[in-house]
């Protein structure tokens, strides 16, 4: 009898623990889903009814294929999603829907070469509303949902074209990491055998590239080697224990940030702090051209993400003022508000906000000097990349704190321009360069190219800020006028407001 009671108690405790574990997992998964934007209502894109007939944009100034000049008074014919003719003297038959482009400027659809899609499908509409017709996404989801989104984008769904890198591939051991992986965290790879199998599997699944995030040195060289064998590009970060010299011969196709180069030079220098900022900048200036020369020789493309780096000290020390400068109402509330498992964007819960030193004037002073130097270093390196002919692609790292899908690319273009790129070079970095890197039939306004276009009110070659003066967007031949674009933005804002748990009224100007 006594034994039976103990047995019943034991079984009961085990069942209670199992139930508690299941409930805990469900709660954690729910938190992750919300933080990734999965609880927000998905806007029905079919209600915007873009014009899908053959289109003639007449009497418009067209950006030249090399992005250096505007070609005046041209007519661009679009049929079945493709540019079929460009000329001054074209007879537009009745089959074409005429769009008067008088006094306007036609550029290729913009391309963001570093984005992060999670569970917020409304982001796809935010890109289009901002003239971004192609994105390179630097993460994959375990359920392969992004592959489905890419397929839909290639068919009839209203969406930018999507290039997807699998991963990012990282290395991390331990029971806690295995538990996090079960709950939806990106799987980790700790041996070269695991990494090689992952590359092969990602290639079979149909991903466009492999992303290196933070793998061990062993895993990094396994994925670079296997990626070459599988003929799939490797992009992403530079692991802390891999030097620039090793990257030059690795076969990596793209570095995900200019910042990755700066981190490597800081390691080579022996570490940069607020005590040696001048010495470090002297070191960087001395070596930046040689680094750029070797990157050029290795044919490594660099995605920029400069504006994000410039925003970090603002988020660190003046977060409220910073949040008032961005289009916060369009960002998915789940990501803004965060969760018990991950920080959001708001004051007191922002990953970049430095709460630990807020009452220490000396530490604040040292931290500000560090960030001032860090950003100056990024500017120095960017200028060296331009000077030495490195292919720079405009990228934002969207959905990182402060970086809103679509809107942020215009901020990035302004940052590139301030770093020394001309308006022409900046446009090239957001159109031709990323299209060529991704082997996409877009990025130029030429006969035979996919009809991904942006109609602007003002000339972006005169001022790069004019990329914001969007009058219409054509995505794969579907024409969205300003009215349709405004409806898209309003629909996303309305969906966000329904899901919002924390008011952001005081943060919106």
* Strand, coil or helix: 55: strand
Task: Kindly list the distances between the CA atom of residue 136 and the CA atoms of 210, 407, 413, 471, in Å, as whole numbers in the listed order.
Answer: 12, 16, 16, 24
- Using CA atoms, how far apart are residues 398 and 411, in angstroms rounded to an integer? 11
Contact 243, 249 (CB under 8 A): no
pLDDT in the model for residue 10? 66
Q: Which residue shows structure tokens 């009745």?
A: 94
pLDDT in the model for residue 342? 82
- Using CA atoms, how far apart are residues 128 and 158, in angstroms rounded to an integer? 9
Contact 313, 375 (CB under 8 A): yes
CA-wise closest residue to 122 among 17, 233, 48 = 48
* Strand, coil or helix: 95: coil
Give the pair of three-digit tokens for residue 132: 């971004």
Give the pair of three-digit tokens for residue 64: 């030249």
Crossing angle of the two packed helices 277-297 and 258-269, in degrees rounded to 10 = 120
Give the containing element (helix H, strand E) for 105: strand 105-108
- Using CA atoms, how far apart are residues 348 and 237, in angstroms rounded to an integer? 29
Q: Which residue shows structure tokens 């030059």?
A: 248
pLDDT in the model for residue 179? 44
Instruction: Classify residue 466 by its DSSP letter.
Output: G
- Using CA atoms, how far apart are residues 321 and 509, in angstroms rounded to an integer? 10
- Using CA atoms, how far apart are residues 16 and 19, in angstroms rounded to an integer? 5
Contact 63, 445 (CB under 8 A): yes
Residues of the chain with pLDDT under 70: 1-35, 51, 142, 172-186
Tens-digit pLDDT profile for residues 255-269: 999 999 999 999 999
* Residue 70: CB atoms within 10 Å: 18
Omega prior to 168 cis, within 30 of 0: yes
Spatial CB neighbours of 405, under 8 Å, sequence gap ≥ 6: 115, 123, 126, 127, 130, 330, 331, 398, 399
CA-wise closest residue to 446 among 85, 122, 186 = 85
* Residue 380: CB atoms within 10 Å: 19
Q: What sign does the dihedral 252-257-258-263 (CA atoms) show?
A: negative
pLDDT in the model for residue 417? 97
pLDDT in the model for residue 189? 87
Tens-digit pLDDT profile for residues 392-410: 999 999 999 999 999 999 9
Instruction: Classify residue 350 by its DSSP letter.
Output: B
How far, rounded to the nearest angstrom, does the alpha carbon of residue 342 sit from its chain's CA centroid?
19
Residue length, the chain?
Answer: 509
Got the DSSP string for 269-327?
Answer: HT---TTSHHHHHHHHHHHHHHHHHHHHHTT-EEE--HHHHHHHHHHHH-HHHHHTTS-
pLDDT in the model for residue 178? 46
353: which strand partners? none
- Using CA atoms, how far apart are residues 269 and 424, in angstroms rounded to an integer? 34
Please measure the distance between the N-terminal and C-terminal CA atoms of the chain and give it in whole angstroms: 73
Give the pair of three-digit tokens for residue 310: 């410039």
């Amino acid at each position: 009898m006594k034994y039976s009671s103990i047995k019943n108690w034991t079984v009961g405790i085990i069942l209670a623990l199992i139930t508690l574990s299941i409930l805990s997992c469900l709660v954690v998964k729910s938190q992750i889903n919300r933080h990734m934007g999965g609880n927000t209502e998905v806007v029905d894109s079919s209600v915007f009814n873009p014009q899908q007939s053959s289109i003639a944009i007449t009497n418009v100034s067209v950006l030249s294929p090399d992005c250096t000049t505007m070609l005046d008074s041209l007519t661009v014919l679009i049929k079945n999603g493709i540019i079929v003719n460009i000329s001054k003297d074209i007879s537009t038959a009745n089959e074409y829907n005429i769009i008067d482009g008088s006094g306007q400027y036609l550029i290729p659809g913009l391309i963001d070469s570093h984005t992060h899609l999670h569970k917020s499908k409304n982001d796809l509409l935010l890109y289009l509303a901002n003239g971004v017709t192609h994105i390179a996404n630097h993460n994959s989801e375990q359920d392969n949902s992004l592959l489905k989104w890419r397929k839909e984008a290639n068919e009839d769904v209203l969406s930018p074209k999507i290039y997807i890198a699998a991963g990012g591939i990282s290395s991390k051991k331990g029971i806690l990491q295995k538990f996090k992986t079960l709950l939806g965290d990106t799987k980790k790879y700790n041996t070269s055998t695991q990494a090689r199998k992952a590359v092969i599997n990602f290639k079979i699944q149909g991903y466009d590239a492999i992303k290196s995030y933070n793998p061990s040195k062993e895993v990094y060289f396994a994925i670079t080697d296997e990626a070459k064998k599988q003929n799939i590009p490797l992009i992403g970060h530079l692991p802390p224990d891999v030097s620039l010299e090793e990257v030059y011969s690795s076969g990596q196709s793209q570095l995900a940030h200019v910042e990755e180069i700066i981190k490597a030079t800081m390691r080579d220098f022996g570490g940069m702090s607020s005590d040696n900022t001048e010495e470090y900048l002297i070191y960087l200036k001395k070596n930046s051209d040689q680094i750029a020369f070797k990157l050029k020789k290795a044919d490594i493309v660099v995605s920029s993400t400069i504006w994000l780096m410039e925003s970090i000290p603002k988020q660190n020390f003046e977060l409220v003022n910073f949040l008032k400068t961005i289009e916060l109402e369009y960002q998915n509330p789940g990501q803004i508000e965060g969760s018990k498992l991950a920080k959001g964007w708001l004051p007191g819960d922002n990953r970049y906000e430095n709460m630990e030193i807020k009452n220490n004037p000396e530490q604040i002073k040292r931290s500000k000097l560090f960030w001032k130097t860090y950003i100056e270093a990024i500017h120095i390196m960017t200028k060296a990349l331009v000077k030495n002919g490195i292919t720079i692609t405009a990228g934002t790292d969207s959905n990182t704190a402060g970086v809103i899908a679509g809107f942020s690319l215009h901020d990035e273009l302004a940052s590139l321009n301030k770093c020394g790129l001309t308006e022409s070079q900046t446009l090239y970095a957001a159109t031709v360069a990323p299209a060529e890197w991704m082997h996409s039939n877009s990025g130029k306004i030429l006969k035979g190219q996919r009809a991904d276009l942006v109609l602007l009110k003002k000339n972006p070659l005169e001022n790069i800020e004019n990329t914001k003066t969007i009058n219409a967007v054509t995505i794969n031949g579907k024409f969205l006028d300003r009215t349709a674009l405004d409806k898209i933005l309003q629909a996303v804002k309305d969906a966000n407001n329904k899901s919002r748990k924390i008011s952001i009224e005081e943060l919106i100007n």
